[in-house]
Amino acid sequence: MRCLLCLVSGVALCLTLPGREVLATNTDGNNSNTNVKMFQGLFQQRRAEHKAAVETILSFENEKQHKMVNIIATKAFEVLEQSQVRLREAGYIPGMDFPEDENVRDALSQTLENTAFLGEILLHLPDLTHQLLRQNKPWQLLLTWGLFFATQSKFLDKNTNSFIYLVSQELGVAERDPHFTNPYSRRHSKHSAGTSPGASQSSSGGNKAKKKKSFKKGPHLSRQFGDL
């Protein structure tokens, strides 16, 4: 229980703290490229924290997993909704240049970070997360908006864009690749582990080609969410 409480506290801090102190040090120089690089470095730090948190959640029993994911989702969607409001009030549209205003930068960072964290949870715990989203339609719409925002953003690297596309396919708001599989799903892992060596070898050529299939550049979300 103590471990769970510590994780909750750490995650809550991670969700609400966008690392403004580093970006703020460069505002006087008006060096947009440097600010973007700083943002990207901070974003990758957050991603590492997200992955570590998810690994910890996966080590819990089902009941604790459900409790932990519910707590994280509640906080993450609260921050995501607040960030959405701030970005809209500022008139910031994804695809625009990196914002100079500190409050807009914070909202941008929190949108991308929380969307990525929720996506990480969705991929690793799809059944649990889909259940929560079905029970909370506003959450599903918020995550869809976050994914759309991230897809249109110019500040994520190639690997992160591929990750966002994978999350969008799992959520069902992007056109699925014909050979789509969620590589983080336990069901996929069990299926792969249960494949016989002979079957694996006989189909290795075709499977390798499928696995190496790259994500489509510039992923497209479903049209029904185009106005988010």
The residues spanned by each domain of the chain are 2-24+35-178+214-225
Q: What is the pLDDT of residues 16-37, one digit of tens each?
A: 556 544 455 454 545 678 889 9
In percent, the amount of the chain with pLDDT more than 70 equals 68
In percent, the amount of the chain with pLDDT more than 90 equals 64
Res 209 pLDDT > 80: no
Closest listed residue to residue 147, CA positions, set 179, 78, 42, 156: 156
Res 13 pLDDT > 90: no
Q: What is the pLDDT of residues 122-181, one digit of tens each?
A: 999 999 999 999 999 999 999 999 999 999 999 999 999 999 999 999 999 999 999 999
Cross-strand partners of 221 = 174
Is 122 in contact with 129 (CB distance < 8 Å)? yes
Res 15 pLDDT > 90: no
Res 48 pLDDT > 80: yes
